[in-house]
Amino acid sequence: MSDPVRLAKYVADLARCSRIEAEQYIKNGWVTVDGRVVEDPALPVSTEVVALNPAAQLEAVEPATILLHKPVGYDAIKGRKAAAGLVQPGTRWPDDPSGVRLLERHFQRLTPLVPLDTDASGLMVLTQDRRVWRRLTEDGHQIEQEYVVEVRGQIAPYGLYKLNHGLQFRGHPLRPCKVSWQNEFRLRFAIKGVQGGQLRDMCAQVGLDVVAIRRIRIGKVALAKMPAGAWRYLPVGGSF
């Protein structure tokens, strides 16, 4: 039995590359040990079968941004039942069109962004990317969000007009937004700078009770057909 060596050294010898390049291959998920992808360059190996994927590339290690369809009852930013716990390898949407290879590192230090009420469902963003964090925090109030709101009751006279312009929330006037009927039970809101509880309050002011709220778009990124509880990657270079 040979003495154990660090996986990075083994790969460097195997691929005839530098130790730094070997570590990059490993961190990017191109190396298997006994058939299992390993991303830890310090893993000791001796008699195991180590292989480097023939398609391996010395690409940059890109931070991940994940788009989750948050179900009702989960807390988006903070709370006891964090939606971030749903982001696991097994819950990735099988139809994810991003082309991003799944890596263990993508599930570490994910920051949830763009609040969504616990009793609402829909598109949620979690990221490791400072550029995405900056865009959705510093410029978040300028990014339009779209919601489908299921309601019941009889809307007050001029209620749709008031929803578009003329209401207040917590004692402050609201900016104009775009509200229209999707069908006789659902309203579609295109709105910026929405606050927690705001949509329910707006509907109540015009005589409507809210049955369900679902966020279907943040900026240019849409929920699409992804089912509740599933997630997909935002493609590298994608923006809101």
**Number of neighbouring beta carbons within 10 Å of residue 151:** 22
- Residue span of the structural domain in which 181 resides: 144-218
Mean pLDDT along residues 106-129: 96
Number of domains in the chain: 3
Confidence of residue 41 (pLDDT cuts 50, 70, 90): confident
- Here the CATH number for the domain that contains residue 40 is 3.10.290.10
**For the whole model, what pTM was predicted?**
0.85
Q: Quick one: 136 and 69 in the same domain?
A: yes
Angle between helices 7-15 and 19-27 (to 10 degrees): 110
Mark whether 116 and 226 lie in a shared domain.
yes
**DSSP three-state, residue 232:** strand
Q: What is the pLDDT of residues 156-195, one digit of tens each?
A: 999 999 999 989 999 999 999 999 999 999 999 999 999 9
My answer on whether 228 and 116 are in the same domain is yes
Any domain includes 59 = no
pLDDT in tens, 51-63: 999 988 888 778 9
Block residue for tokens 């990317």: 129
pLDDT at 217 over 80: yes
In this prediction, residue 21 has a pLDDT band, given cuts at 50, 70 and 90, of confident
On whether both 130 and 158 belong to a single domain, the answer is no
pLDDT (tens digit, 9 = 90+) per residue, 136-162?
999 989 999 999 999 999 999 999 999
- One domain, residues 212 and 158: yes
